[in-house]
Amino acid sequence: MWYIHFTSSDNPGRVGIGECAPLPDLSWDALPDADYEQVLNRACRQVEEQGGVLDYEALQDYPSILFGLETAIRHHAAGSWALWDTPFSRSEAGIPINGLIWMGDYDRMLTQIETKMQAGFRCIKLKIGAIHFDEELALLKYIRAHFSRAEIELRWMPTGLSRQAMRWINSNGLPNWIYIPSNSRFVPDSGLKWLA
């Protein structure tokens, strides 16, 4: 675990703290310590050179470093641990519970989706990466075809997707769907010609 201390000559008495904590054997950016520190030091220098601005694209493969830097910068800017001013952070509103859809074959996942929607869930969260990507995409489209974003919030988390699949998603987009980053390792790209 590494801590980032973010300071600024504009406000020398204020510090922002961020935590970088890749999970061994789980986070795809869980590198050997020396390699991780090299990437972290390079990212910190880049933020310093860019006047406290994050390069999200450059840190795409290092979510724990991105999280640590973003938290440190937000903490510094806010001057407190209230990083966001929202009804939730002010304890005025809760976060709607989602109907979690467990990975399985297409029919099992479709049955779970229909059950959650009939039970009144207004937020459906799918972990995808277990079956053929086209089938999982069809499940996402099924929900959106029957319910607008105003009716159902759709969240998806890539658990076991390949980097190639994520590149396809990033290039083509999934409009009106909320992506939840996962620190899970991606599976190898080999054998995924169906995405090309």
- With contact defined as beta carbons under 8 Å apart, do 70 and 18 qualify? yes
Determine which of 27-31, 69-73, 121-125, 178-182 has the lowest per-residue pLDDT on average: 178-182
Other C-beta atoms closer than 10 Å to the C-beta of 18 total 21
pLDDT per residue as tens digits for the range 135-160: 877 887 888 888 888 888 888 776 66
β-bridge partners, 179: 156
Is pLDDT at 192 greater than 80 in this prediction?
A: no
Average pLDDT over residues 103-121: 87
Please name which of 124, 126, 173, 115 lies closest in space to residue 152, comparing C-alpha atoms: 124
Long-range contacts of 25-28 (CB under 8 A, 24+ apart): 26/183, 26/184, 26/185, 27/63, 27/64, 27/183, 27/184, 27/185, 28/61, 28/63, 28/183, 28/184, 28/185, 28/186
Separation of alpha carbons 5 and 186, rounded Å: 30
User: Can you give the pTM of this predicted structure?
Assistant: 0.54
pLDDT at 180 over 60: no
The 10s digit of each residue's pLDDT in 8-39 is: 888 888 999 999 999 888 788 889 999 999 99
